[in-house]
Each structure stands twice: as C-alpha cells, then as structure tokens.
Chain A
Amino acid sequence: AQSVTQLDSHVSVSEGTPVLLRCNYSSSYSPSLFWYVQHPNKGLQLLLKYTSAATLVKGINGFEAEFKKSETSFHLTKPSAHMSDAAEYFCVVSADSGYSTLTFGKGTMLLVS
C-alpha cells in the first residue's frame, strides 16, 4: 500500500521569498515520486520526478525537491517565488511494483502576494 500526505493545504508567500511545500509518503516498494502543478481551470503539468537516481531533483521553473528516505519526505522548494507560481501543487507517489497507478496527495494551494 502507498499513501501521500501533503502537510499544508495552503501556503502563502510574498513574491521574491522562498517557497517550501511539504510532502511525506509511505510505500511498501521503492517509490517514484512526482510533483505536479495545476493552474486554475487547467490540466496538471509535471514539475519534476524522482525515480531512484539523484536524490536532489531539479524541475521546471526553478523548482527542486529532495528525496529523503530516512524521513520519507519529498519536499518541494523554490528560492524565489513569482506571481505566476500561484497554483495547486500535488505530490504523487507511484510504487515500483510492476504495475501500479498513481496516488495523489490532497494538494497544496500556493498563494503569492
């Protein structure tokens, strides 16, 4: 079984300040982890993914995430927020069990002022 917990339903930051969106996961297998972003009335876009290579993963638009197995975490960060970053962010886990579907976290709404 696998699960994802996004620790904050909303995060508010000022433009130009750092962003931290927190995600913890649980998986019986070696997981693949993803962050997706969804802007209002749009589909989901992949920001970055971890698939057992480097633990620090760089994605699009200046985002990055670090896989910490000991803490079962995959937090998303960005050094400096931009107004266009305001969106819903989903942390997603996919178990390496040969065939699986994705498990989505409940989402974190990022507000940028």
Chain B
Amino acid sequence: DTEVTQTPKHLVMGMTNKKSLKCEQHMGHRAMYWYKQKAKKPPELMFVYSYEKLSINESVPSRFSPECPNSSLLNLHLHALQPEDSALYLCASSLTPGTSGFGSGELFFGEGSRLTVL
C-alpha cells in the first residue's frame, strides 16, 4: 500500500462552522505533513509531524488546528475560517522527517481536500 488517503475530497463550509480534514497512510512513515495550495501556485507547508509530535508550525493561524492521533492518522481541524482559506489542502507523508538516508525528502501526497469557505 503506497497510498495517502484524504477525506473528504470536497468540503464547503460557512465561516462559523467546525469541520475536519482527515489523512491516513499505512506505509509506516513517521513524518506527516499538511500543505495548502492555492490555484496555480506551489504547495505551501503548514505543519509537520515527526513521530506523532508537532515539529513545525509555519505560523499558521490558530483557526487551523492539527492533530496526529497515531502514526497512521493526521487530522486538520477547521474553525471560523475565512473565504481566503479556500484552497486545496494536501496531506503528505515521508519515511523519516530528516533529509538523509533512504527515502529522505521523498514525499507521498494524497489527492487533497478541496475546501471552499463561504
């Protein structure tokens, strides 16, 4: 199994709603990532989890709250979002969080959750 599975594929929410995006991988990867991608732009890193602990938060607003319940799952909780938060949210995983050694730096991406905030 070399897949990263994201649900839901599409989500529409109002600015007062609370919703969650989910990501799952069963490759034994110990690093998991959330990226935000706007149209015609490269992905922008939001969060990195390393061995289930949050290791990088790229100054993301608190209305985005990540959670890593176990080594296979990654959630992104959404609350009080703004219309400018509408984007494709990509989850990725890698064998290790470092950049040396086999598999270093190679990310496996899910297909994304397309979020629309009204």
Q: Do A and B bind each other?
A: yes
Chain A interface (Cβ < 8 Å from any Cβ of B): 32, 34, 36, 41-46, 49, 51, 90, 92, 94-102, 104-107
Docked pose: A43 CA to B4 CA in angstroms? 10
Q: Judging by beta carbons under 8 Å apart, are A32 and B98 in contact?
A: no
Chain A residue nearest to B56 (CB atoms) is A101
Q: Kindly provide the distance from the CB of A80 to the nearest chain B CB, expressed in whole angstroms.
A: 27
Tell me if B59 is interfacial: C-beta within 8 Å of chain A: no
Given known pairs A94-B99, A96-B100, A99-B98, the reply for A104 and B42 (CB within 8 Å) is yes
Interface string of B60-104 (1 = CB under 8 A from A): 000000000000000000000000000010101000011110001
Chain B residue nearest to A91 (CB atoms) is B42
Tell me if B45 is interfacial: C-beta within 8 Å of chain A: yes
Q: Kindly provide the distance from the CB of B75 to the nearest chain A CB, expressed in whole angstroms.
A: 18
Q: Kindly provide the distance from the CB of A112 to the nearest chain B CB, expressed in whole angstroms.
A: 18
The number of chain B residues touching the other chain, given as a range, is 20 to 34
Task: List 29 A-B residue pairs with CB atoms under 8 Å apart, sorted by A's residue number.
Answer: A32-B105, A41-B88, A41-B112, A42-B111, A42-B112, A43-B4, A43-B6, A43-B90, A43-B109, A43-B111, A44-B90, A44-B92, A45-B109, A46-B107, A46-B108, A94-B99, A94-B104, A95-B99, A96-B100, A99-B97, A99-B98, A99-B99, A100-B99, A100-B105, A101-B45, A102-B107, A106-B41, A107-B41, A107-B42
Extra contacts, 7 of them, besides A98-B100, A102-B45 (Cβ < 8 A), are A32-B99, A34-B105, A36-B109, A43-B90, A94-B105, A99-B97, A107-B42
Interface SS of B by simple majority: loop
Tell me if B43 is interfacial: C-beta within 8 Å of chain A: yes
Docked pose: A45 CA to B43 CA in angstroms? 13
Q: Judging by beta carbons under 8 Å apart, are A98 and B48 in contact?
A: no
Which residues of A are found within 8 Å of B110, using beta-carbon distances?
43
Which residues of B are found within 8 Å of A107, using beta-carbon distances?
40-42
Tell me if B36 is interfacial: C-beta within 8 Å of chain A: no
